[in-house]
Amino acid sequence: MVGLSLGEKQFIHGGIAQDLRTDGRKRLHYRPISIETGVIPQANGSARVRLGATDVIVSIKAELGKPSSLQPDKGKVAIFVDCSSTAAPMFELSGKWKMVLGRGGEELSSELSVALQRCLLGGKSGAGAGIDPSSLVIVEGKLCWDLYIDGLVVSSDGNLLDALGAAIKVALSNTGIPKVTVILGPSPNDQPDVDLSDEEFLQFDTTGVPVIVTLTKVGRHYIADATLEEESQMSSAMSVSLNRHGHICGLTKRGGAGLDPSVVLDMISVAQHVGEQLMSMLDSEIAAAEAAAVQEQ
């Protein structure tokens, strides 16, 4: 992957204009998604999502912690993304995208983390978050679960944000947090003690968790689920995070070129449409995985 020749670039542009992409997809088609849950048994929940050649693994770990004083009735959720070096050489692309894709993947990692946080966790006040942190609290003001969501990009072929978003949703459905019984300390100021139950688990309700749809504008058309080559040709891209009801939970625009506001609205509505399909596909996959897990038991 050294770079694209002029001919290749024209081919990509032309194909998109004619609704026939290099791999034969239509503009708004997603590549086949394959999902695996429970790939990391040591974590409380994990999932691996393959979107064509893009491969991401998400693991969710829960640890005991103290809620922040600003929001004593909510637990804490933190999202980190790490671009593994196995996907690294892709980051040494030349051209204007060096800025975006960064050397060593550091910049990309932080950019992805921030984008995900914005889409899934809502604003600073915690309002409107896709994942509800109040379900994580154990003792108000003293004890709560800290959820650490770690994403690992194993192989990158474009559309990382979507893949990560989907993986997080699946991983959350797979997450089991042990139930705790609280033993209060003798004086009210003390940190209460907890007794862990090995048996029972708290499952997350993931129907409210949003998915992320990234639309990439190449030329005058938008495509969903761009591959790396297509991304290198984009003028701008927009990632919309949508929940089941079609509401927007977050929005990110990337890329240097400016967008007309009407174009933005148009992209959003397209994204909603695409998002519904993605959402239902993910839901069915999750259900299938759960059923398989129950059968194994």
Binding to other proteins (CB under 8 A) within 69-98 occurs at 80, 82, 84-90, 92
Are the C-beta atoms of residues 218 and 16 closer than 8 Å to each other? yes
Q: For other proteins, which is the closer residue by CB, 28 or 90?
A: 90
Read off the amino acid at residue 42.
Answer: Q
Q: Kindly state the number of chain residues that form the binding site for other proteins, as judged by CB under 8 A.
A: 50
Binding to other proteins (CB under 8 A) within 216-275 occurs at none
Burial per residue of 253-266, b for 16 or more beta-carbon CB atoms within 10 angstroms, e otherwise: ebbeeebeeeeeee
Q: Residue 150: in which H helix or E strand, if any?
A: strand 143-155
Residue of 23, 73, 140, 190 interacting with other proteins (CB under 8 A)? 190
Q: Does 194 bind other proteins (CB under 8 A)?
A: yes
Alpha helices in the chain (DSSP H): 6-17, 98-101, 106-121, 160-174, 228-232, 261-296
Residue 123 region by backbone torsions, left for phi larger than 0, else alpha for psi between -120 and 50, else beta? beta
Least distance from other proteins to the Cβ atom of residue 268, Å:
31
Q: For other proteins, which is the closer residue by CB, 113 or 252?
A: 113
Q: Does 64 bind other proteins (CB under 8 A)?
A: yes
Binding to other proteins (CB under 8 A) within 3-62 occurs at 39-44, 46, 52-53, 55, 57, 59, 61-62
Least distance from other proteins to the Cβ atom of residue 109, Å:
11
Q: How far apart are CA 154 and CA 22, in angstroms?
A: 23
Are the C-beta atoms of residues 168 and 209 closer than 8 Å to each other? yes
Are the C-beta atoms of residues 62 and 147 closer than 8 Å to each other? yes
Q: Which stretch binds other proteins (CB under 8 A): 29-37, 177-185, 230-238, 278-286?
A: 177-185
Interaction mask 134-153, other proteins, x per CB under 8 A? --------------x-x-x-
The one-character DSSP state at 91 is G
Under the rule (CB under 8 A), what is the footprint of other proteins?
A: 1-2, 39-44, 46, 52-53, 55, 57, 59, 61-64, 80, 82, 84-90, 92, 104, 148, 150, 152, 154-157, 178, 183, 185-187, 190-191, 193-196, 198-200
